[in-house]
Amino acid sequence: KLLWRGALAVLVGLGLTATFWLPAVLERGQVHLDRLKEGYFAYYNHFLYPQQWFYHPWGYGLSVAGPNDGLSYMLGPVHWILIGLGLWAAGRAAFRRRGSALHAQFFARRIAFLGLLLISLFLTTFLAAPVYRMVPLLQQLLFPSRFMALAAWAAAVLIALAVHDWE
C-alpha cells in the first residue's frame, strides 16, 4: 500500500512538472546540449568546497571555479546546531522507544532524511566527480551546487522531526 502511494506521488509529480521536462526530452536534438559541458557552464567548474557549507560571505555574484564564489551556498550555523540537536534528540527518543512497534518507523524516517542530506551534500563536492562522469544526466543539471536546495530541504525536515522529538 505504501509503495503504491509512493508510485502515485511520483506519477503526480511527473505530471505536474511535465511542462518543463517533456519539451526538454522531446526537443533534445534541436538544442545544443554539448555547450552545457564546456566553458563557464561545465559542471566541474561549479563544485563546492565543504567549508562553503558552513561559512561563506553573503553576496549576489556568480558561481566560479574554486571556493571564491560571489554568492553563498552555506546552510546557516543555526541549521547545523539544530541538526546536531535533532540527531541527539532522535537518538534519545529512539533509545526510550526501543522495542516498541514505532521504533523502526521512527528511526527509518530520520535515517532516510539524514541520508538524503549527506548524499545531496556529497553531490555538491568535487568528490562526486566520478558519479557525474558515470551518470551523464547529472552533467546537464549544470551546477552541482543546485543540490544545496535538496540539502536545505532535508535539513529542514530533520529539524522539524527534531522539534517533534523534543518532548
Q: What average pLDDT does the structure give for the chain?
A: 77
| pLDDT, tens only, 56-112 | 677 676 676 767 676 777 777 888 888 887 777 777 766 766 666 566 666 777 778
Which has the closest alpha carbon to 64: 75, 52, 55, 76?
A: 52
- The pLDDT score that the predictor gives to residue 12 is 92
Which residue reads 535533532 in cell numbers?
Answer: 86
Residue 65 DSSP one-character state: S
Residue 167 predicted with pLDDT over 80:
no
| 19 — pLDDT class (breaks 50, 70, 90) | confident
Helix (H, G, I), strand (E, B) or coil at 152: helix
Contact of 161 with 87, CB cutoff 8 Å: no
Q: From CA 148, how far away is CA 125, in angstroms rounded?
A: 11
Residue 32 burial (CB count, 10 A): 6
The DSSP annotation for 35-62 comes to: GGGSGGG-GGGSPBPTHHHH--------
- The pLDDT score that the predictor gives to residue 86 is 75
Q: Which residues neighbour 96 within 8 Å (Cβ) at sequence distance 6 or greater?
A: none
